[in-house]
Structure 1
Amino acid sequence: MFRPSRRTLLASIGGLVLSGCLSRGSRGELPVEGTFPNGYPEYDDVERVVAYGEIDPDTTPIYLEPSTTTLTENEGATFTLTNAAGRTFALNPYGWRLHKRVDDRWYHVAPWEVPLPLTNLRAGDSHVWTLRVDNAALEPGGSPDRGGGQEPNPIAGLGGGEYAFGTRGWFEDESHEDAIGFSARFDLETEPLELTPSDAISETKWDDETLVAMSDRGDADSDSTRLGAYELVRTDDDVRGDPHITETLMRNDQLRDVVALAREYDADRVRLKEYDGTHPIFGSRDDGYYEYDGETYEISTRELEGDETDE
């Protein structure tokens, strides 16, 4: 039987809530629980989103304010979370999030890895993140950092387009289950990002109709690594894959390489051979279907044995 999520219930009754679920503050009230404004990323770990373009900062008790709505490469922008609520707010300063909108869909771009320290933002205080885009690290064949820093300064691997910077947290006297999200949009004016194989690809050759590539990631001499195959098949099956844009592919080394090689060599099948120390091989998190630029690909991973390990 279908059971609506808490978010669904909150969204359906949000317009009826006049009091009780509103956060008290010295300057006014936050949007009611279940508020997820159109035109902003939908965070799945919060009960409401305070979108800068939808609120009045003079009357909102806590909000995230951008220093600009238009950014160029190597120009810095700040995003300031101001707590004027009269009570302490808990947040993870490493817990910023960056999304890009393409064809009316928001994609989470960064970070992919987040430390989990918690800090308190006392009443009247602010926390500032600085974002600066520098794509020079990607030339030639470089890979952007998967994130994890306290702020994206600098951050590489972003093409021009519409982005949203955000974060989340909760008031100290409330539960983390009542977390509030914050989001502020901006336009990045720079060249589109080009999908290319990483510089880890050391060799390519054809095996019948399969393009075989060797990666120098991983330690071939380590007792803890095994040679694995990360395999792509271009498919016409009527399946829905996990959609990607260039900015997200660039942050998954193996997926980036096989998709980029398939496009560069017009290959329907690609086998990437790479040493890996995880169990199961490559973690098997990537097995499934993926969509990119109008194409659908099936990805599978396996450990190579016997003659298949010959390089």
Structure 2
Amino acid sequence: MTPRDIYRLARNEVSMRRRALLSTLGVTVLAGCTANDSVGNTGDRTASSTDSLEPATAPATATPDATDVGVSPAEAAGPPWDDDVKRVVSWADVTESTPIALRPPTQQASLPGATFEFTLANDTDVRFETNFYGWSVWKQVDEAWFHVAPTAWPVPLMTLESGESHTWTVTVDNSELHRDIMWVEGTEDLSLAGLGGGTYAFTIDGWFASQDYDQSLGFASQFVLDGDPVELVPTNEVTGTTREGDTVVVETSHGAGDDSRRAAFVVERLGDESVESQESDVRRLITEQALRDRELRNTLPFFEEGVETVRLEEQNSSWPIFGLDEPRVIEYEGVQYRLSAEELSASAAQTDQ
């Protein structure tokens, strides 16, 4: 389950309750989200005995129809969208008269340090419902878009009233790429590491108060980073490597928790076994994504000439081990690799030490 799948599940639950909570109580609904696949719960409000049974007459409103703003996702510039997003306002479609949009539509700055501001301004007459934590950064490579950040986020229901705006400030800082890149979450000031030169998109979505989440409106702003590509380098946790034939073993100083056991994260290069991406669940990765996965960072860089397998052996407290319940295949820089994990026996662990 991807982070966006988690968000959709939580947002669906929030949407079913949002009218009772927001329209009658005027409070924000919160739903929890973790790096795994857990989703929090929200509360319900039941009608009191004094609630009128007479049908209410909805006040006249200038609620914009989703079809009046933006274009269909298939026509929009930028990354792909979930099925619940029915219209998109991308940078190519923003004009001075666009009633709700991310501005500025396009920006450009240079590495190694760069700062961008993205402002969602609601100039309609209707409240817009969204999640300011639910932003995404994507990179375009060879006409395809790759989700870079964040890896997980909270899912509260937030609002942008008519006439209001919200600004995210994104700072790119590649000064400490030798460290493990921590996940980033926030609603205003965001610091991202591990972005190389290229074309990116900043996105957010939501829906008008009178509509449901499955009639969402997406927004995309383009930003360009001028500079060199980032390099996939190991973290500073690596303490040593050994090579035997076509296999490299990597060891790290990764700390041991109370429930940890010594385990191996195994990466095998696929040759004649390579599979067609269209016919299987092969995930194609770019460097900006691989940098955010410490196991891949500490294995893929060691595939020098003649190496077919790299084993990362260290203490691990995850369940399943390294988060892998079964082998999977990735593709990086045109080469496919099979990922698997195994728990090392006590005797093997003592031998390794």
Question: TM exceeds 0.5?
Answer: yes
Report whether the alignment pairs 1:205 with 2:242: yes
Say whether residues 1:156 and 2:196 are aligned partners.
Answer: no
Structure 1 counterpart of 2:286, one-letter code: I
Task: Please give the per-residue CA displacement for 1:51-95, whole angstroms capped at 9, x wherever unaligned.
Answer: 12123241x221111275212232322111011121111111111
CA contact (8 A) 1:249 1:256 kept: yes
Superposition deviation, residue 115 in structure 1: 1.6
Q: 1:125 to 1:266 in 2, by over 3 A?
A: farther
Q: Which residue in the other structure is 1:299 paired with?
A: 339
Deviation at 1:261, TM superposition (A): 1.6
5 Å-filtered alignment, 1:156-305, equals 156-219=193-256, 222-236=257-271, 237-239=273-275, 240=277, 241-263=282-304, 266-284=306-324, 287-305=327-345
1:40 matched to which residue of 2?
Answer: 78
Structure 1 match to 2:159: 120
AA in 2 matched with 1:261: F
Contact kept in structure 1, 2:77 and 2:91, CA below 8 Å: no
Give me the TM-score of the superposition, normalised by structure 1: 0.84
CA deviation string 1:161-198 (max 9, x = no partner): 00001111112222222222110112111221011111
Instruction: Report the 3-state secondary structure (helix = DSSP H, G, I; strand = E; otherwise coil) of the residue aligned with 1:136.
Output: coil
Question: Which amino acid in 2 is paired with 1:238?
Answer: S
Q: Which amino acid aligns with 2:260?
A: T
The amino acid that maps onto 2:145 is W
Q: Which of these two proteins has the greater Rg computed from alpha carbons?
A: 2
Contact 1:121–1:127 under 8 Å retained in 2: yes
Q: Figure out how many residues of one structure are paired with residues of the other and give that number.
A: 281
- Runs ≥4 residues deviating over 4 A: none
Give the aligned CA root-mean-square deviation in angstroms.
2.2
- 2:100 matched to 1:62? yes
Pair 1:68–1:182, CA change in 2 (3 A): closer
| Kept in 1: contact 2:265–2:341 (CA 8 A) | yes
Distance 1:285 1:123, change over 3 A: farther
Q: Percent identity?
A: 34
Distance 1:201 1:94 in 2: 33
1:141-165, Cα deviation, whole Å (9 max, x unpaired): 2232322232463211000000001
Identify the residue that residue 46 of structure 2 maps to in structure 1. none
- Kindly state the Cα deviation for residue 40 of structure 1 after the two structures are TM-superposed: 0.7
Deviation, structure 1 residue 42 = 0.5
Q: List gaps (5 residues or longer) in structure 2.
A: 1-61
Matched, 1:31 2:70: yes
Report how far residue 300 of structure 1 moved: 0.6
Deviation at 1:111, TM superposition (A): 0.7
Query: Hey, what's the Cα distance between the residues in 2 that align with 1:192 and 1:176?
Result: 37
TM-score by structure 2 length? 0.74
Residue 8 of structure 1: aligned partner: none
The SS at the match of 2:68 is: coil
